[in-house]
């Protein structure tokens, strides 16, 4: 573990080995703090690439009822003597554009960094949020996976902190081994502070 100007520069593989995982279980996706190319969150580690697929599937599911509603409205207009198709066609094109373009943009707007005594999470497409969680404020840490995340091979690190406002910080789109390693690294820091 090397420290450069207050930032831990462990690789995900080094964190995983400290957590007892082998390098074959946890591929190295770059050092923590590696820059994201072409993004506003330079200097932060990007999410695991399969997170794009998770966002895409979630976006498709979220906008599907709108598409179905517009097709039903188009059919109702056609049953009244109108032409079936124009509303459905526009809705389908917009749906396809949203499902293809929006997830890529959302993915690029996430980044994180594990520093000596804190976790920094930067996120947001329209409304940007930069959250810094000092390790001494952490109450407990979870690693979770929903069905779509399991299917795509990613996990979410959930950090619960002391306080009432923004007391839960979620970092989705991590490789499961990296999420486990980050949890163990935070636990190690917390244990050292308690001694």
The CA distance from 14 to 31, in Å, is 9
The CA distance from 178 to 181, in Å, is 5
Alpha helices per DSSP H over 30-175: 51-79, 86-108, 147-152
Closest alpha carbon to 145 in 185, 121, 172, 116: 172
The CA distance from 135 to 132, in Å, is 10
Spans of the chain below 50 pLDDT: 1-16, 19, 21-38
150-156-160 Cα angle (round to 5): 145
The pLDDT of residue 40: 61
Q: Please provide the CATH number assigned to the domain covering 3-47+112-194.
A: 2.30.29
Enumerate the domain spans of the chain. Answer: 3-47+112-194, 51-106
Query: For 54-80, how does the pLDDT look when each residue is reduced to its tens digit (9 = 90+)?
Result: 999 999 999 999 999 999 998 888 888
The pLDDT of residue 31: 42
The pLDDT of residue 165: 77
Distances (CA, A) of 176 to 73, 139, 156, 172: 43, 21, 8, 10
The CA distance from 41 to 93, in Å, is 31
The pLDDT of residue 10: 42
């Amino acid at each position: 573990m090397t420290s450069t100007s207050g930032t831990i520069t462990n690789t995900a593989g080094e964190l995983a080995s400290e957590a007892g995982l082998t390098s074959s279980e946890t591929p190295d996706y770059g050092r923590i703090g590696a820059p994201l190319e072409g993004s506003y969150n330079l200097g932060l580690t990007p999410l695991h690439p399969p997170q794009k697929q998770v966002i895409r599937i979630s976006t498709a599911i979220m906008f599907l009822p709108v598409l179905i509603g517009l097709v039903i409205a188009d059919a109702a207009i056609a049953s009244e003597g109108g032409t079936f198709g124009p509303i459905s066609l526009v809705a389908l094109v917009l749906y396809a554009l949203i499902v293809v373009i929006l997830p890529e943009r959302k993915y690029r707007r996430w980044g994180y960094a594990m520093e000596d005594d804190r976790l920094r999470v930067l996120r947001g497409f329209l409304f940007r949020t930069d959250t810094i969680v000092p390790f001494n404020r952490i109450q407990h840490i979870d690693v979770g996976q929903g069905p779509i995340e399991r299917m795509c091979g990613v996990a979410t690190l959930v950090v619960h902190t002391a306080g009432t406002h923004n007391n839960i910080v979620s970092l989705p789109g991590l490789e499961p081994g990296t999420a486990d390693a980050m949890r163990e690294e935070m636990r190690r820091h917390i244990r050292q502070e308690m001694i």
